[in-house]
Every structure is written in C-alpha cells, then in structure tokens.
Structure 1
Amino acid sequence: MKILFHSPHQEADAWRDALAQALPEAELRAWQPGDTGAADYALVWRAPRELFAPRDGLRAIFNLGAGVDALLALEREYPGTLPRDVPLVRLEDSGMARQMIEYVTHAALRYLRRFDEYDALQRERRWQVLEPHAHASFTVAVLGLGVLGAQVARALAAL
C-alpha cells in the first residue's frame, strides 16, 4: 500500500513511524514537487494542486484537518484538480476536539475571569480584585454542530 503524504506543519517521519506499527505493509512517502508516482492513498493537509496531478491508483484522499473544506475550495478555484471518482475522507476527531475545547474554554475563561485586565494591572504593579463577568451576560455562537462543534458547545455550556 503506497501512501502519499503532504503537510506544511508536520513531518512525514512521525506519520511513517506511526503507520509502520499500525500498517506494516504501508509505504509512506513525502510528496515533493514533480512527484507524479502512483499512490493508493493521499494523506494531506493544505496540499498544493500539483499533488493531485493525474496519479495512477489513487483510491482515497484523507484530509488531516477537521473537514474537507480546503480540498473543496481548491477544486472550486481550480476545477478538475481533484479526481472525480476518488472519495474525500475527513478525520472525525484524532484529538482535534480536545484541542478545540481547550482553546475555546481558555478564551472564554480568559474573558469571564478578566485575565487580560489582571495582566494589565500586574504590569502596573497594582493589586485590585475584579468581579468576574457574569456567565449569563456572555453569549457564544458555535458555527456548526458537527463532531467538533457539538463537543465545544457542551464544554462551554458546562462552564
């Protein structure tokens, strides 16, 4: 099984090591400009359109992000980039929900507890107790209640 990998933020070696344990028959190679060799699967994040140049045997494209929006945007901008008969697969979670929950709850608590104001007071070497903002006065809109959004909404509701 040949897997083509591309991500500007992650090294192929980490994926190669993990896949070697789970799929010893898998051969992962990092995509380089000009690589048009055969691949069974593409494992990508922010892939350039050249990666999808006619490629023999491609059976699925796995997007490393939360959805396939970036791939669909690439297809809209450059029609015909993605092979029509190859499914696009999104990762359902892979830890992204946990990261998003931490990020969003951090931001919400930073506001509710007025940490930015405490930081400013600290720089001024002043000690002053600030009343936290009331939860009821704080509205958050979660755009999309898919796998990630629903978990984020539940975490915020629990604050």
Structure 2
Amino acid sequence: MAILTWLHTAYGDDLINGIRSSLPDETIYEWPGDVAHNEIDVAILFRMPPGFLKPFPNVKLISATGAGIDHYLLDPDFPRDVPLVRVVDHDFAARMADYVLCWTLFHHRDVPHFLKAQKERRWAYKIMRSASDVTVGVMGLGQMGRLTCERLAFLGYDVRAWSRSEHQIKGVRCYAGKDALPDFLRDTEILVNLLPLTAETRGILGKKTFDRMPHGGVLITAARGGHLIENDVLDALDSGRLSAATIDAFPVEPLPETHPFWTHPNVYVTPHCSSTASCATIVDTFAENVRRFRSGAPLLNEVDLAAGY
C-alpha cells in the first residue's frame, strides 16, 4: 500500500512536507518520479491529464486538492468505482466569499469610473447607490454559495439565490429548479456564478441567461471555465447587455495571450485564484481521509459521481 502525489507547484515543498509529516507511517511517492505502480492504492492529484490513472490498477481512493472535480469526471478513463473526495471547508468558502464581495463592491461602487477619472485628472463626482438598491443573484448554494449569500446580505444587498434544490437562507430570496431560473434572473443586476460544473450547468453563462438579466448587468464568475460561452460574453459586453464581467475560470487555462478577454476594456481577468485552499486545509483533510480509508470509516467530502459534485 502506498500514496501517489501530484501537487500544485504553487505550494512549493510545504504541501508534500505537510503530507509526509501528517502520515509518517505511509509510503509516499511524488510524481514524476520512480513510482511502484502496483503499490499505489491512494492518490492525491492536481489536474492530471486524461488516462493518467490507467497504469495504477490498485487505486482505491482518489483525492482532489481543492473543491473542483469536473476535470476528473471529464476523463473517460476515470475509475468510476473508486471513491473521489475533495477539499471543502469553512476557510475555503470564506476565501470565495471574500472574492465575490471584493468584486461586487468594485462594480457596485463603479471603481473603474474613478480610476479612469484619476488617470485623466478629472474631478468626476458621482452619486453612489445604496447596497439595498442593488440586486445581487448568486447561482449555486453549496458551502461557498451559501456563505457568500449570507455575507452579501449582511452588507445590505438585495440578495437572491438559485440552485437545483430548495434552500432557505435568512435575508435571501431563494429560487430552485430550471423553471425558476427566468424569475431569478429578471431583476439580477450583478450575477455571481458559484455553480458546480455538470451536464446541466455547462454553458449556462451564455446569451439566453444574459438576455434574461436587466440591461447593463454585471457578471462575476468564480466557478468553472465550462460554464462560459466566451463569444456570448463578448457579444453581450459589446452590445451593452452586460456592462462588465469579472472572470476567474476559463475553458482553456492559462488564458492564451491572444485571447480578447485580456484587452477588453470591460473584462477583469483573475488567474483562477478566487479561492485557493490553504496548505494546512489540504494536508489536514487529506490525512484524515487516508486514516478513515485505512480504518474503513466514512470519508469526508466524498463526491456524488452521478450528481457531479
């Protein structure tokens, strides 16, 4: 029995050192390297290529290093009979809520107006709307979406939320199901996407959605690149249907240097960094799941492969 690791380089040696320290009795291999393929029964992986797991016939537990798992499920060779777990905790949700609040305030308070005026040395006074007059709609009510709604409501925004199933959140108007989506979008001025990527949500950020929003709305998407129909976003921005878009996740990453999002005056690009799990969170969650796996206890944050999250 042994563990295979393929980890994000952004953590340097901290992540692998933390895993080794937390699981001192485990044999741990780092990829790429000299790996005993048949020994591997646990793998913690960051965005492995399709078919990566085929040479490891004895894998019995797979762990993501974050909350997103759609790239695993897009692999036609992914072993669907093997439990897949992910990293989701309060800290992860709080970081996402911080990201959404930052950009909601940025657009609500029209920061680009003042930055442009300063660059031009213009005293460009502008009356600001109250948060209570701004309707923010959040799509997705998992742990991150729920906390984001609560924090937006605390700041005084008129918050509504949409998800597949019924939810109740104090101070938030909740909508559920496909049939409720048009009503949810009708008054949503700032649309926040925190949905999981599934067959039903792929391509949801496209013309049909934007046309149901008030003219001049704003898009903030910090979920998965597969939600975007990129040409529809550009068309909506160029027509004025959308006034701005903050985008953190893209169908192709890193975003190609020639992509029009980089230079569009109303697009704000961030490099898929809206909510990076802390090293301690990844280590603690993974180590606990390994211990549970070895003892036969229920796993933390196990993915429902049928639902896609």
Q: Which residue is equivalent to 2:110?
A: 114
Q: Where does 1:18-29 land on structure 2 (aligned, <5 Å)?
A: 18-29=18-29
Q: Larger deviation: 133-142 or 14-23?
A: 133-142
Work out the CA distance in 1 between the residues paired with 2:87 and 2:17. 19
- SS state at 1:52 partner: coil
Q: Which residue is equivalent to 2:82?
A: 86
Please tell me whether the aligned partners of residues 66 and 88 of structure 2 are also in contact (alpha carbons under 8 angstroms).
no
Q: Which residue is equivalent to 2:69?
A: 68
State the shift of 1:8 in Å.
Answer: 5.0
Work out the CA distance in 1 between the residues paired with 2:140 and 2:78. 25
In the comparison of the two structures, how many residue pairs are matched?
154
State the shift of 1:10 in Å.
Answer: 3.6
Please tell me whether the aligned partners of residues 104 and 152 of structure 1 are also in contact (alpha carbons under 8 angstroms).
yes
Q: Where does 1:1-159 land on structure 2 (aligned, <5 Å)?
A: 2-11=2-11, 13-32=13-32, 37=37, 38-74=39-75, 78=76, 81-93=77-89, 95-159=91-155
State the shift of 1:150 in Å.
Answer: 0.8
- SS state at 2:99 partner: helix
Q: Larger deviation: 142-151 or 8-17?
A: 8-17
Structure 1 pair 66–46 and aligned structure 2 pair: CA distance change class (3 A): same
State the shift of 1:86 in Å.
Answer: 1.0
Work out the CA distance in 1 between the residues paired with 2:12 and 2:61. 18
- SS state at 2:124 partner: coil
State the shift of 1:117 in Å.
Answer: 0.8
Work out the CA distance in 2 between the residues paired with 1:96 and 1:16. 20
Structure 1 pair 12–114 and aligned structure 2 pair: CA distance change class (3 A): closer
Structure 1 pair 36–130 and aligned structure 2 pair: CA distance change class (3 A): farther
Please tell me whether the aligned partners of residues 5 and 28 of structure 1 are also in contact (alpha carbons under 8 angstroms).
yes
Structure 1 pair 12–67 and aligned structure 2 pair: CA distance change class (3 A): same
User: TM-score normalized by structure 2?
Assistant: 0.45
Please tell me whether the aligned partners of residues 44 and 64 of structure 1 are also in contact (alpha carbons under 8 angstroms).
yes
Structure 1 pair 157–42 and aligned structure 2 pair: CA distance change class (3 A): same
Which residue type is aligned with residue 52 of structure 2? Answer: L
State the shift of 1:94 in Å.
Answer: 6.9
State the shift of 1:124 in Å.
Answer: 0.7
Which structure carries more helix by proportion? 1
- SS state at 1:95 partner: helix
Structure 1 pair 40–13 and aligned structure 2 pair: CA distance change class (3 A): farther
Structure 1 pair 47–34 and aligned structure 2 pair: CA distance change class (3 A): farther
Work out the CA distance in 2 between the residues paired with 1:12 and 1:4. 17
- SS state at 1:83 partner: coil
CA RMSD of aligned residues (A): 2.5
Q: Percent of counterpart pairs with the same letter?
A: 31
